[in-house]
Structure 1
């Protein structure tokens, strides 16, 4: 397991994407912190154990702002947001948007999200089959985030295309051109949208951000694009894959599915287990060592890239009993699906609520649903960041 070639061969293959957990198990046991050569030509450290992951995610010596790393060129036009910033900028940028995601506001959306779920399932109920991702899992969260931001929901397919190009490019150099084009198109769309909002602001979150920008209240033009783009992408990507991976886990474990059908009140614990067992975000976004430092016996050099394997950490037997067992009665387990520390996902409560409503409604409406494909034949989305299937064909 110490061969660089072997690690590359194992971690960047379709077989790994199909089922990375046997590889993670071996890495945690023999090489939990290792330097990897990525397809874009850069080396970086991968952290695979839970306790190590928590330390990295909370240690502010591992910074998020790539502009502070002199050896790396900043090329993203949408990178000025909370996810890619450090204190004090992170706190300032997060403060602009967190007022739109308070517990009270999220709880107040329950009935509306329920109606969206019912309407989407009404649309497929006349048939005998559905594609869970295209017919349901994608539309529910993108409709919700578009409404929060005040963006026409009919534009959601554009966001899906742009989001896929940006997210799935990850560290793969061959996808770089498509990703940059998607970013440019995204920014041009937002430029036109902001112009409309400035003429006629409403009570949506984009209007609040644009008004704050016009009054000179700290948001730069680049930050405005970066924050809104992040909200659109992160506002649906996590939930899409939570629903897809969660339903797939239930289909693989029929006794757990039956338990949830009989006891829909178990959904809270079930969502936490879905997030832990096969989480929607496989790797963290990049961090960079701000100084030379010793970490668990390894010398990490200033400007080194550091990535946390979140899905590996969530299967660490030193933290979770029987980690490879899917058990919806496990309860809340301090998994890392939404990160840790100051970058803990702002939209986690909304994603949980959307997942709970989406999955319980699906099971109530179609308790006999079955997978219409071999699990081994399912195609997983490319790139390092997200973990989710492209399609999930079901009979209903």
Structure 2
């Protein structure tokens, strides 16, 4: 594993500077930095590359409370100056959805979408998810090294969410490319321009797709949302486009990176791999431990303080932006024993980890993410018991992003069957 930082050698100022920099060194292994911040500056002001100072909360109890605190608003229209400085004006067209809203609007939007993601409805998708997994693996070379991310980890959740929404198969790759640009753009002039172009293309595409669903409805979720829109007060045109966008984006990217994280860590720890696949119950527990240990959502989306808030004697002033460190909270020793050790037999982890959030904004797609992860890992490791990394674990390259929202590998070279 990376030894980029040693937490016992970092001061709080050094840890804050490392977290602010979003450097390649920090991205390689941010966990020692979060450990230092938990001990010495659990509510830490940072100055990230986007140019807007942000308070980062890293302790488990504080994070859990903050995720459910109504004084920390998700409605970024209330923080327009800061929001515009980070993302530019064009982002607002795609952010009028349940992820970026407060009650009662959030409650209304979540209710409209919620019936699609109940555990019972999601379980009915298991045969189709299994078929997609099988088909993807059939196309992968058995004996030659290849990158598992673009060939398996990304196509799986993308196909599932696109089928749920009713996105035609020949249009999915382009939608993914635009989404990737929106997710990974930087803050320089060229990156800003790429962001505006991608957001404009996504908006125009979704407007057109919605118009097609209105003319020719089908059984997909997007058609159901169009129907809901036609009920007075249910969805506005703006909300419909933005809701379709957040489901498409959140429905595949986080699960894709999480699947890659899981494969990497299990291949790096043969004993944990063996324990994870003893039976279906062991695999389900292992998935939850991996959610805790290396969450693909490293830090929460932005919130802003609607009033002055004091957390652990630190004043977060009204109007300030706040992020909750999911990765930091999930490795808090006050909440999890020996938290820096991956232990797939760890008890009761599902109820405790914060990878899907907490409170009103708890991830609506959590049941689907669990199904996809369990199916993908069980099939991949069951079919290819000799599956091996195509690199030394310490050579892994992690995403370098303008601010640490996602935690995932830049590539995941593997060999499915080295003996063939």
Q: What interval of TM-score do these two structures reach, taking the shorter chain for normalisation?
A: over 0.9
Out of 26, 29, 39, the residue aligned to residue 49 of structure 2 is 39
**Which stretch shifts more, 339-348 or 115-124?**
115-124
Asked if 1:393 corresponds to 2:402, the answer is no
Distance across 2 between alignment mates of 1:66 and 1:319: 31
Asked if 1:256 corresponds to 2:272, the answer is yes
Out of 41, 62, 73, the residue aligned to residue 63 of structure 1 is 73
What are the ranges of 5 or more consecutive residues in structure 1 without an aligned counterpart?
none
Deviation of the 1:169 alpha carbon: 3.1
Please tell me whether the aligned partners of residues 239 and 355 of structure 1 are also in contact (alpha carbons under 8 angstroms).
yes
Please tell me whether the aligned partners of residues 16 and 44 of structure 2 are also in contact (alpha carbons under 8 angstroms).
no
Tell me what 2:131 maps to: 115
Tell me what 2:6 maps to: none
Moved over 6 A (4+): 170-174
**Alpha-carbon displacement from aligned partner over 1:37-93 (angstroms, at most 9, x marks no partner):** 111211110011101101110110000111123543552210100110000000011
Deviation of the 1:10 alpha carbon: 4.8
Tell me what 2:384 maps to: 366
- Where 2:385 maps in the other structure, the secondary structure is coil
Distance across 1 between alignment mates of 2:232 and 2:19: 50
Distance across 1 between alignment mates of 2:145 and 2:309: 54
Tell me what 1:142 maps to: 158
Tell me what 1:8 maps to: 17
- Where 1:299 maps in the other structure, the secondary structure is strand
Please tell me whether the aligned partners of residues 16 and 37 of structure 2 are also in contact (alpha carbons under 8 angstroms).
no
Q: Do the aligned partners of residues 6 and 249 (structure 1) sit closer, same or farther apart at CA in structure 2, a change above 3 Å counting?
A: closer
**Alpha-carbon displacement from aligned partner over 1:262-296 (angstroms, at most 9, x marks no partner):** 43441110000000001110010000000122222
Deviation of the 1:212 alpha carbon: 2.1
Tell me what 2:62 maps to: 52
Deviation of the 1:126 alpha carbon: 4.8
Distance across 2 between alignment mates of 1:187 and 1:181: 10
- Where 2:347 maps in the other structure, the secondary structure is coil
**Alpha-carbon displacement from aligned partner over 1:111-133 (angstroms, at most 9, x marks no partner):** 11111111111111554333211
Distance across 2 between alignment mates of 1:162 and 1:64: 24
Out of 278, 301, 307, the residue aligned to residue 291 of structure 1 is 307
Matches within 5 A, 1:74-89: 75=89, 76=91, 77-89=93-105
- Where 1:45 maps in the other structure, the secondary structure is strand
Distance across 1 between alignment mates of 2:127 and 2:173: 24
Aligned pair count?
Answer: 395
Distance across 1 between alignment mates of 2:189 and 2:328: 24
Deviation of the 1:176 alpha carbon: 3.0
Report the RMSD for the aligned CA atoms in angstroms: 1.8
TM-score, normalization by structure 1: 0.95
Q: Do the aligned partners of residues 40 and 172 (structure 1) sit closer, same or farther apart at CA in structure 2, a change above 3 Å counting?
A: farther
Q: Do the aligned partners of residues 359 and 317 (structure 1) sit closer, same or farther apart at CA in structure 2, a change above 3 Å counting?
A: same
Asked if 1:192 corresponds to 2:239, the answer is no
Matches within 5 A, 1:320-359: 320-333=336-349, 334-359=352-377
